[in-house]
A = this chain, B = another copy of it.
């Protein structure tokens, strides 16, 4: 018998605990090639909000009454697959459950030698890290000397963006909400942080970027996007990775004022991307990132929520800025 969280109804606007319900699953027998997995660390991510709505997007929506799923690190409890042994640590798309059955072909076994907690393979060494890497390199074309702004700099992706930008020789400023998070930015090696709760964001950008922003990595959208747009240098690149300020909107939100004119005058490039289109770069990234981690240039920043039952709440807290770095739920923790 496994416990599982299902989508009880589609949220309108900001999700609430009522949108989730707990159910139970019988322990199904394994078929050839399958394993039973106990999720240890479950990733909760803002993009899951999109899957809770019934809208065309790049991944299919969750169905009402069905399990919520996200990326997780789990332990193999039982195996009918030749490549996996009991106790192996694996990563895969996992239901929010205390155990589940997976096809071994859909799981990735963690490297045996590791200087990091397994949960890092959800964050700095996982898709979160790859997102930062792909955005900065493939779409941002980052170069030494770039003047980089990253919004939600203390968030899961943003905290890696800032560290990688420094590694690539850029100057980087992050935005974050509140003094605690801005303090985290300094510890991660950001050159500066802007507390967007406390200051006029446009004025702060003018101070932080007297010559303008050459590369803007955006996770937020909305007012921060508009302010940064008007602070871009000629030929600046805007990498659009997310728009968490809009994920709970119930109607089309206002766009950045003056966009079309300024894009032409300053010859800006705005490029949206989704990391799952670029998984072929993961091995290249992981090799580099492991080196940077071992050298101490790249650290894992995580917020841990404890216990299976905390999954929905951990997810909801993302929209209140409740996480510093990657939000991970430690399912088995007391």
Chain A interface (Cβ < 8 Å from any Cβ of B): 50, 57-58, 218, 221-222, 225-226, 234, 240-243, 245-247, 252-274, 277
Is there contact, CB below 8 Å, between B264 and A253? no
Residues on the B chain within 8 Å of A269, using CB? 269-272
Known pairs A58-B234, A226-B255, A245-B260 / 8 extra A-B pairs, C-beta < 8 Å: A222-B260, A242-B264, A243-B264, A264-B272, A265-B274, A267-B274, A267-B277, A269-B269
Is there contact, CB below 8 Å, between B277 and A264? no
Closest residue of chain B to A274, judged by CB?
B267
Is there contact, CB below 8 Å, between B241 and A264? yes
Is there contact, CB below 8 Å, between A221 and B260? yes
Q: Tell me which of B234, B253, B265, B270 contacts A50 (CB under 8 A).
A: B265
Is there contact, CB below 8 Å, between A267 and B272? yes
Docked pose: A50 CA to B247 CA in angstroms: 36
Residues on the B chain within 8 Å of A245, using CB? 260
Is there contact, CB below 8 Å, between A259 and B255? yes
Residues on the B chain within 8 Å of A274, using CB? 264-265, 267
Q: Tell me which of B246, B257, B267 contacts A252 (CB under 8 A).
A: B257
Docked pose: A266 CA to B255 CA in angstroms: 16
Q: Tell me which of B57, B246, B254 contacts A255 (CB under 8 A).
A: B254
| Contact (A240, B255) CB under 8 Å given A269-B269, A269-B272 | no
Is there contact, CB below 8 Å, between A261 and B226? no
Residues on the B chain within 8 Å of A252, using CB? 257-258
| Most interface-central of A226, A267, A272 (chain B CB within 10 A) | A272
Docked pose: A240 CA to B261 CA in angstroms: 9
Docked pose: A245 CA to B50 CA in angstroms: 33
Top 5 nearest A-B pairs by Cβ distance?
A255-B255, A221-B260, A263-B272, A252-B257, A243-B260
Docked pose: A273 CA to B260 CA in angstroms: 11
A188 to chain B minimum Cβ distance, whole angstroms, is: 24
Residues on the B chain within 8 Å of A221, using CB? 259-261
Is there contact, CB below 8 Å, between B260 and A58? no
Docked pose: A247 CA to B221 CA in angstroms: 25
Is there contact, CB below 8 Å, between A261 and B234? no
Give me 22 A-to-B residue pairs in the complex whose CB atoms sit less than 8 angstroms apart, sorted by A's number. A58-B234, A218-B260, A240-B260, A252-B257, A252-B258, A253-B257, A254-B254, A254-B257, A255-B255, A255-B257, A255-B259, A256-B260, A262-B272, A263-B270, A263-B272, A264-B272, A264-B274, A265-B272, A267-B272, A267-B273, A267-B274, A270-B271
